[in-house]
A and B are shown apart, each in its own frame.
Chain A
Amino acid sequence: MLRQEGRIDMQAEAKQTVSKAIFQRMGSLVGLVVIFVALSLISSDFLTVSNMFNVLRQISINALIAFGMTFVILTGGIDLSVGSIFALSSALAAGMMASGTDPFVAIMVGLAAGAVMGAANGILIAKGKVAPFIATLATMTVFRGLTLVYTEGKPITGLPDSFALFGKGFFLDIPMPIIWMLIAFAILYVILKHSTFGRHVYALGSNEEATKLSGINTSRVKIFVYSISGLLAALSGIILTSRLNSAQATAGMSYELDAIAAVVLGGTSLSGGKGWIVGTLIGAMIIGVLDNGLNLLNVSSFYQQVVKGGVILIAVLLDRSKSK
């Protein structure tokens, strides 16, 4: 009889934790809706089809990087080098195209370069046992330096017209960057939710020792995760290069911070093991919508930074008070 009672109590408790988890997860969505509604009311230019596409197109650049960052942060790591990978891989692709290589080949090489740079991060962290923060801080500088060497500090222009389709084209009237973002999101969502690799990522971020002792090759998981991050940073960089029709050595500077902000706003824990990629998409949208809205409202770019930082702080503080 006593056991029975215990079971009912535990069930009640379990129900509570489930609803609490859902509430916590939905917090960022509520935030997005609030900002969205507020901006729609304040500015008549905000809620228009063209502005929405515009916002989403801007978001896609950050979101792609943030998706990769989500994987990294879920394992308990961090990737500061994404901005530099963004620049170096797009410079490589642009340089090849400028000297006559077929755009498709150049894009593939650029993406591969991003993945390889990410793998290098992963190897440093997994095999060299360097703390992720330090390893990617160093490679951030190295990759940026290599970009400057490769481009000699000058923009690479004269890219073929067919390449413009990659970032400026439309599919079913939807701008291509949004399409790429949605495709990447769908694939990564499935990987994280339904694949064994996704399990490895969550397990590793929660308890590395226990994961290792369950026979999982944690080094391989880490290398893979940073490769994904590098690949997505490269994709994001090549999309922006296509839109701007030129590659800049200084592109992607401090993009890692917006990506980390999106992940955190989306409710993923910086200590690893907890979070989801849907949250990251919402987080990226919050940042993007806020940027766009403040522009429409003619808020000076100086104040915009204050507001953005403030929103991140409020979101994290709210999250804290909820989880208590």
Chain B
Amino acid sequence: MAEMLLEMKEIDKSFPGVKVLQNVQFSLYAGELHALMGENGAGKSTLMKILNGIYTKDSGTIIVKGKPEEITSTKVAEGLGISIIHQELNLIPYLSVMENIFLGREFKHGKTPFVNWKKMRSEAERYLKQLGMDLDPRTIVEELSVGQQQMVEIAKALSMQADILVLDEPTAALTDREIEKLFEVIAALKAKGVGMIYISHRMEEIFQISDRITVLRDGKYIGTRNTKETDMDELVRMMVGRDINDRFPKIEITPGEERLRVESMSLGQKLRDISFSVRSGEILGLAGLMGAGRTEVAKVLFGVTPATHGKILIDGKETTIRKPIDAIGAGIALVTEDRKHEGLILSLSIRENLSLPNLATLSVSGFMKRKKEAVLSEETIEKLHIRTPHAEQVVGALSGGNQQKVVIGKWLATKPKILILDEPTRGVDIGAKKEIYDLMNQLAKEGVAIIMISSELPEVLGMSDRIIVMHEGRVTAELSREEATQEKIMHAATGGENRHAG
């Protein structure tokens, strides 16, 4: 067996009043990719923060390359070759790639304080090459795609001689092509003997690239499996503590009248000649690669960026939507993909967030009806199973799944006829995912027309009645539930002409 890079044993950690980790263990071999799984709040990020010196453990031992170590700061962690690539990338957008890679460790001309730009450039180039990246190190980071930025972060970690690399949800914001690229890099790093800890909610990719899988639940160590010797059902059972028989509990509903029809809608160069319709009780999946224009469709329908051309018909009547308030008035609700920046106000309470699009109905001549407001928040918390001690809890303190339920809840209270869900289950754990799917079913049953934008193909295939696929601002395929397959969708999403496939 390869060299043991890292061993964490009997790790305990408490915050005032809360035990977040109890007797947790974890190990990592050189050249191994070890996936760390668990629902949100299971303690994955706390464990990684302890490894990285952001938190200090209450008790337990950490052995790095055979020696017991006390990781008291991120500086110490860096010195031991431990590096984290965070989900939210930590680059400085206005500096160049090389300035970011060597931030705080700039090469200088001898002992002078002046930067040796030539050396910086050649060194940066060297590390980028190792990752198979052909990128000018002088490029400003802001101009890079998320996937490229991630590579820069990895290059930075390599330049610090890191051999224990933590990847926190690295594929969450990547396109399929970028993911493939990342997996190639991961394979190359494995061959070099780098050990990687991989956190992700995406089962498929974990089975594709990991060697071992460790599962945490409620701050406790549940078990470690060799990837080859386990399957999805077992992992789900380990994570949730019970069986989830059906990952996509789609129920059959006969769709009713046509709710929304979009006719040859365009938005400058971003969207061209988009036409589609959704019926009441129908779930329309909107698939495509990142940047294909899916989110733009949602933003046009919601009046964030009004269309430059085309018609929107609601219940057969042409409707003008130039501002979000027009859309809300027309019975449209949008659950945006970026819940932290667009969906929620993290510093406000659940109650205040739920009320925000509903202030008009919760007030009389401009003054809030506190009772009505309290009823709304209590009902929503109960209906959507939002796990919180009370409605006054600040939304920023909730887990991803519960935050998402608050976003959905605030829009359900507007009693929408058309609900647009943009990546409704991103960063949401399995249990909450299932609850969101159940909720979609229930809304469809009540006659709501649902448009679901998703990058997760299994989800699109599992939950949609009909699927339209976009590529570079155009609709390239429309598939019924029966005829849709992963291959057909990917083909259309990458520009293949199979409009009438099947």
Among residues of B, the one whose C-beta sits closest to the C-beta of A212 is B324
Among residues of B, the one whose C-beta sits closest to the C-beta of A198 is B368
A196 to B352, CA, bound (A): 11
A13 to B324, CA, bound (A): 36
Q: Which residues of B contact A196 (CB under 8 A)?
A: 359-360, 362-363, 366-368
B 401-413 binary contact with A (CB < 8 Å = 1; else 0): 0000000001000
B356 contacts which of A18, A194, A216 (Cβ < 8 Å)? A216
A6/B336 in contact, CB under 8 A: no
A40 within 8 A of B: no
A215 contacts which of B328, B346, B392 (Cβ < 8 Å)? B328
Chain B, range 321-350, C-beta contacts under 8 Å to A: 323-325, 327-328, 334, 336, 341-348
B394 within 8 A of A: yes
A14/B389 in contact, CB under 8 A: yes
B17/A13 in contact, CB under 8 A: yes
A5 to B324, CA, bound (A): 41
A195 to B368, CA, bound (A): 5
A203/B356 in contact, CB under 8 A: yes
Among residues of A, the one whose C-beta sits closest to the C-beta of B360 is A196
A131 within 8 A of B: no
B218 contacts which of A2, A16, A202, A212 (Cβ < 8 Å)? A2
Q: Which residues of B contact A202 (CB under 8 A)?
A: 348, 352
A 212-225 binary contact with B (CB < 8 Å = 1; else 0): 11111100000000
Q: Which residues of B contact A13 (CB under 8 A)?
A: 15-18, 397
Q: Give the number of residues in A that approach B within 8 Å (Cβ atoms).
A: 35
- Listed from nearest, the 3 A-B pairs whose CB atoms lie closest are A12-B17, A11-B389, A9-B18
Sample 5 A-B pairs with CB under 8 A, ordered by A number. A2-B218, A7-B387, A212-B304, A213-B343, A214-B324
A16 to B397, CA, bound (A): 13
B341 contacts which of A6, A209, A215 (Cβ < 8 Å)? A209
Chain A, range 15-35, C-beta contacts under 8 Å to B: 16-18
Taking the nearest CB of chain A, how far is it from the CB of B216, in angstroms?
A: 13
Q: Which residues of B contact A14 (CB under 8 A)?
A: 389-390, 392-393
Taking the nearest CB of chain B, how far is it from the CB of A268, in angstroms?
A: 13
Q: Which residues of A contact B356 (CB under 8 A)?
A: 199, 203, 210-211, 214, 216
A213/B344 in contact, CB under 8 A: no
B302 within 8 A of A: yes
A195/B367 in contact, CB under 8 A: yes
B345/A207 in contact, CB under 8 A: yes
B344 contacts which of A9, A10, A207, A217 (Cβ < 8 Å)? A207
B357 within 8 A of A: yes
Among residues of A, the one whose C-beta sits closest to the C-beta of B363 is A196
A 222-246 binary contact with B (CB < 8 Å = 1; else 0): 0000000000000000000000000
A6/B218 in contact, CB under 8 A: yes
A3 within 8 A of B: yes
A274 within 8 A of B: yes
Q: Which residues of A contact B366 (CB under 8 A)?
A: 195-197
Interface residues of B (CB under 8 A from A): 15-19, 41, 218, 241, 302, 304, 323-325, 327-328, 334, 336, 341-348, 352, 355-357, 359-360, 362-363, 366-368, 370, 387-390, 392-394, 397, 410
Taking the nearest CB of chain A, how far is it from the CB of B31, in angstroms?
A: 36
A10/B389 in contact, CB under 8 A: yes
Q: Which residues of A contact B345 (CB under 8 A)?
A: 203, 206-207, 210-211, 273
Contact of A217 with B325 at beta-carbon distance under 8 Å, contacts A17-B394, A199-B355 already known:
yes
Taking the nearest CB of chain B, how far is it from the CB of A205, in angstroms?
A: 9
A214/B389 in contact, CB under 8 A: no
Q: Which residues of A contact B17 (CB under 8 A)?
A: 9, 12-13, 16
A33 to B370, CA, bound (A): 33
B389/A273 in contact, CB under 8 A: no
Q: Which residues of B contact A12 (CB under 8 A)?
A: 16-18
Among residues of B, the one whose C-beta sits closest to the C-beta of A209 is B342
A2 to B41, CA, bound (A): 12
A197 to B360, CA, bound (A): 11
Taking the nearest CB of chain A, how far is it from the CB of B320, in angstroms?
A: 15
B336/A213 in contact, CB under 8 A: yes
Q: Which residues of B contact A17 (CB under 8 A)?
A: 394, 397
Contact of A215 with B389 at beta-carbon distance under 8 Å, contacts A17-B394, A206-B347 already known:
no
Contact of A210 with B342 at beta-carbon distance under 8 Å, contacts A6-B218, A9-B17, A196-B359 already known:
yes
Q: Which residues of B contact A18 (CB under 8 A)?
A: 392
User: In the complex, given contacts A195-B368, A210-B342, A214-B410, what are 9 additional A-B residue pairs having Cβ atoms less than 8 angstroms apart?
Assistant: A3-B387, A9-B17, A9-B19, A10-B393, A196-B359, A206-B345, A206-B347, A210-B356, A216-B356
B347/A210 in contact, CB under 8 A: no
A6 to B220, CA, bound (A): 13
Q: Which residues of A contact B348 (CB under 8 A)?
A: 202-203, 206, 273
Q: Which residues of A contact B302 (CB under 8 A)?
A: 213
Q: Which residues of B contact A203 (CB under 8 A)?
A: 345, 348, 352, 356
Taking the nearest CB of chain B, how far is it from the CB of A1, in angstroms?
A: 10
A 246-276 binary contact with B (CB < 8 Å = 1; else 0): 0000000000000000000000000001100
Contact of A207 with B368 at beta-carbon distance under 8 Å, contacts A12-B18, A196-B360, A214-B324 already known:
no
Q: Which residues of B contact A195 (CB under 8 A)?
A: 363, 366-368
Contact of A215 with B18 at beta-carbon distance under 8 Å, contacts A7-B389, A14-B389 already known:
no
A16 to B393, CA, bound (A): 12
A9 to B41, CA, bound (A): 13
A316 to B347, CA, bound (A): 20
Taking the nearest CB of chain A, how far is it from the CB of B238, in angstroms?
A: 14
A211 to B352, CA, bound (A): 12
A210 contacts which of B344, B370, B394 (Cβ < 8 Å)? B344
A203 to B342, CA, bound (A): 12
Chain A, range 279-310, C-beta contacts under 8 Å to B: none
Q: Which residues of B contact A10 (CB under 8 A)?
A: 18, 388-389, 393
Taking the nearest CB of chain A, how far is it from the CB of B32, in angstroms?
A: 30
A93 to B393, CA, bound (A): 49
A196 to B360, CA, bound (A): 8
Among residues of B, the one whose C-beta sits closest to the C-beta of A13 is B17
Q: Which residues of A contact B336 (CB under 8 A)?
A: 213
A10 to B20, CA, bound (A): 12
Looking at A12, A195, A214, which has the most chain B CB atoms within 10 Å of its CB? A214
A56 to B403, CA, bound (A): 46
Among residues of A, the one whose C-beta sits closest to the C-beta of B373 is A199
A14 to B347, CA, bound (A): 14
A167 to B302, CA, bound (A): 51
